[in-house]
Amino acid sequence: MAAVIALSTLAAQARSARFTIIPEPVQIEVAEADSFRIDRGMPVVVSSPDLMLTAKYLADYMDKYLGIPVSVSSDEDGFGAGVRMANLGNGGISGGYSLTVTPEKGVLIEGNDAAGVFYGMQTLIQMLPLRAGVIPLLPAVHIVDYPRFAYRGMHLDVVRHFFPVEFVKRYIDMLARHKLNYFHWHLTDDQAWRIEMKSHPELTAQGSEREGEIEGLYPGKYRALPYGGYYTQEQVREVVEYAAERHITVIPEIDIPGHCMAVLAVHPEFSTTPDEPKSCAKTWGIFNKFNNVLAPRPEVFAFLKDVFSELCDIFPGQYIHVGGDECAKRWWQESEDTQKFMRDNGLKDEKALQSHFIHYVQSVVNSKGKTLVGWDEVLEGGISEDCIIMNWRKPTYGAKAVKTGHRTISTSSGWSYFNMKESRNQTEIGPRGPLPLEKVYGYQAIPDSITDSQKELIWGVQGCLWTEYVPTTWKAEFSVFPRMSALAENAWSAEESKDWDNFVRKVEAQIERYELWGVRYSDAFFRTQDIERKR
Ligand code: ACM
């Protein structure tokens, strides 16, 4: 009897080995039945108009990558076999879905909500052939799936290098293909301000361009090279809408009170050293050397009110990121006016002053009905519980955040910063690392040291791409793929469904998908591992 069970388990494993879905679904039950064959002109029907975009996404995909036209409709009358999508609206986990393939009816995707239907459709995409010209046969199967984490994010720094709208959309589309649902857009920093503000047009007019940058690794050699770019509000709205169609929320970041050289280049009077010359940063790093810190003056708080209020109006999502990282406090220590402000306001040290800034922005954002997000330094001087903490330093800071009652996003740099090179001898991207694929895959987003109720506060995980050493779109893709696929499995799949060997097998197929999609990727993993190619 045991032998029979073992054999049937093996057979089931062999059948499910035909699936290369990333992130791994909760449950794949392969049926003993014939496959369903997709024919040209196959109907794709939706049960409600809110799913039309998802149906069209599938149709566009099949046409563009596989050369198979299908017909999309919201009229279910006379539907025989094809793809049917339904939004159950059942109040189940957002993003959850089931996908069933039978030889008679074809594919049925039922989502707990519209996002669930969209993710079911993305799973279907990963069951399609990896290239055009192959007969699309779908094995009979029943998949039940839902996400582990509600927050599944990727970040992009568009300041150190600027990326055009077309690329930002492409990046967002790749997030969608990985079932990620938040795009964290890092829009301002020392080197530039890259979002148009109607209340302060001077920020982009003067602060979106730098005179040059360094060549090679920091400290490098300075090269005069005017470099600029920014997004108009119309473009930003276009990106937000594009993301929303893919069930992705955009979180904009304006980084204060440090990382503000671009603001100070435009408004030297906002600094603690207004008489010294200022410019957008021309090199990389954390600037103790250059003053990049806002001074606590009435006109600065008025400015913060203007820009964060406007940001809340432009972005319909619930979350606004205030930055708050790496503030060089020496500039506050050395400023008599700042020290007087601190005494007058009962602020005992510079951490308390940083906290004063963050609280101020939080009150602006809250008055607009939104929620603040900040890097983990915002905890230092104290911050109210409803600020979400993005843990980028060691995981111990994430543990501290949940212990003080904060909802927390895990993006600890040692596991999540894809600007780090992937293998020791990789020369194409940044100096730090290595951060190999296996390490990303093995990230423990939930620290062992916290209680069950604190675990509930880990809202999700995120990968980041800082772009000091990423000047081109191809390098951006090369940096994030395939590590984004490992992140996606951490974000979506239950710990029990994760399996490194299975992931390695699936990455081979994923790389064929990247080829199909025209996405650049790094093959560092395959060059550094002695793995047996099974196909
Ligand atoms: C960061 O990497 N400074 C958030």
| Residue-level pLDDT, tens digit, the chain, 535 residues | 455 455 455 555 555 668 999 999 999 999 999 999 999 999 999 999 999 999 999 999 999 999 999 999 999 888 999 999 999 999 999 999 999 999 999 999 999 999 999 999 999 999 999 999 999 999 999 999 999 999 999 999 999 999 999 999 999 999 999 999 999 999 999 999 999 999 999 999 999 999 999 988 888 899 999 999 999 999 999 999 999 999 999 999 999 999 999 999 999 999 999 999 999 999 998 767 899 999 999 999 999 999 999 999 999 999 999 999 999 999 999 999 999 999 999 999 999 999 999 999 999 999 999 999 999 999 998 888 899 999 999 999 999 999 999 999 999 999 999 999 999 888 888 889 999 999 999 999 998 899 999 999 999 999 999 999 999 999 999 999 999 999 999 999 999 899 999 999 999 999 999 999 999 999 999 887 654 444 3
Dihedral sign of CA atoms 418, 422, 521, 55 in order: negative
Is any atom of ligand 1 closer than 6 Å to the C-beta of 119? no
The CA 323 to ligand 1 mean position distance, Å, reads 8
DSSP H helical ranges for 153-232: 165-177, 202-207
Residue-level pLDDT at 459: 98
Of ligand 1's listed atoms, the one at least distance from the Cα of 375 is 4
Asked if 20 and 502 touch (Cβ cutoff 8 Å), the reply is no
- Roughly what angle, to the nearest 10 degrees, separates helices 483-492 and 500-517? 120
Residue-level pLDDT at 531: 47
Is any atom of ligand 1 closer than 6 Å to the C-beta of 287? no
Is any atom of ligand 1 closer than 6 Å to the C-beta of 325? yes
Is any atom of ligand 1 closer than 6 Å to the C-beta of 284? no
| Alpha-carbon distances of 164 from 230, 249, 324, rounded to whole Å | 9, 19, 26
Asked if 521 and 514 touch (Cβ cutoff 8 Å), the reply is yes
Of ligand 1's listed atoms, the one at least distance from the Cα of 286 is 3
The CA 165 to ligand 1 mean position distance, Å, reads 23
Is any atom of ligand 1 closer than 6 Å to the C-beta of 306? no
Rounded Cα gap, residues 396 and 412, in angstroms: 9
Of ligand 1's listed atoms, the one at least distance from the Cα of 392 is 4
Rounded Cα gap, residues 107 and 143, in angstroms: 11
The CA 14 to ligand 1 mean position distance, Å, reads 44
Dihedral sign of CA atoms 233, 238, 241, 246 in order: negative
Residues 121, 124, 129: CA angle, nearest 5 degrees: 140
Is any atom of ligand 1 closer than 6 Å to the C-beta of 326? yes
Is any atom of ligand 1 closer than 6 Å to the C-beta of 392? yes
The CA 24 to ligand 1 mean position distance, Å, reads 30
Of ligand 1's listed atoms, the one at least distance from the Cα of 325 is 3
Of ligand 1's listed atoms, the one at least distance from the Cα of 323 is 4
Active site residues: 189, 259, 326
The CA 373 to ligand 1 mean position distance, Å, reads 13
> In this structure, what DSSP letter does residue 354 have?
H
For residue 170, the tally of other CB atoms under 10 A from its CB is 18
- Name the token pair of 361: 């922005």
Q: Which residues contact 505 (CB under 8 A, 6 or more apart)?
A: 17, 20, 534
Asked if 144 and 116 touch (Cβ cutoff 8 Å), the reply is no
Is any atom of ligand 1 closer than 6 Å to the C-beta of 189? no
Q: Put the strands of the sheet holding 82-87 in their side by side order.
A: 27-30, 141-145, 97-102, 106-111, 82-87, 43-46, 71-73
Nearest partner of 467 among 15, 155, 117, judged by Cα: 155
Is any atom of ligand 1 closer than 6 Å to the C-beta of 375? yes
| Alpha-carbon distances of 260 from 76, 264, 281, 282, 286, rounded to whole Å | 55, 6, 9, 13, 11
Q: Which residue, judged by its Cα, is nearest atom 2 of ligand 1?
A: 392
The CA 228 to ligand 1 mean position distance, Å, reads 22
Rounded Cα gap, residues 83 and 203, in angstroms: 49
The CA 87 to ligand 1 mean position distance, Å, reads 39
Is any atom of ligand 1 closer than 6 Å to the C-beta of 57? no
Q: What is the largest CA-CA distance in the chain?
A: 86
> In this structure, what DSSP letter does residue 270 have?
G
Q: Which residue, judged by its Cα, is nearest atom 3 of ligand 1?
A: 325
Beta strands 27-30 and 141-145: pairing type?
Answer: antiparallel
> In this structure, what DSSP letter does residue 185 have?
E
Residues 81, 84, 87: CA angle, nearest 5 degrees: 160
Mutational test site, ligand 1, from 160, 184, 326, 411, max ligand atoms within 8 Å of CB: 326
The CA 348 to ligand 1 mean position distance, Å, reads 25
Asked if 446 and 409 touch (Cβ cutoff 8 Å), the reply is no
Rg (CA), the chain: 25
Of ligand 1's listed atoms, the one at least distance from the Cα of 464 is 2
Is any atom of ligand 1 closer than 6 Å to the C-beta of 393? no
Is any atom of ligand 1 closer than 6 Å to the C-beta of 190? no
Is any atom of ligand 1 closer than 6 Å to the C-beta of 397? no
Of ligand 1's listed atoms, the one at least distance from the Cα of 326 is 3
Number of H helices, E strands in the chain: 19, 19
The CA 199 to ligand 1 mean position distance, Å, reads 27
Mutational test site, ligand 1, from 392, 418, 467, max ligand atoms within 8 Å of CB: 392
- Name the token pair of 72: 């999309």
Residue-level pLDDT at 410: 98
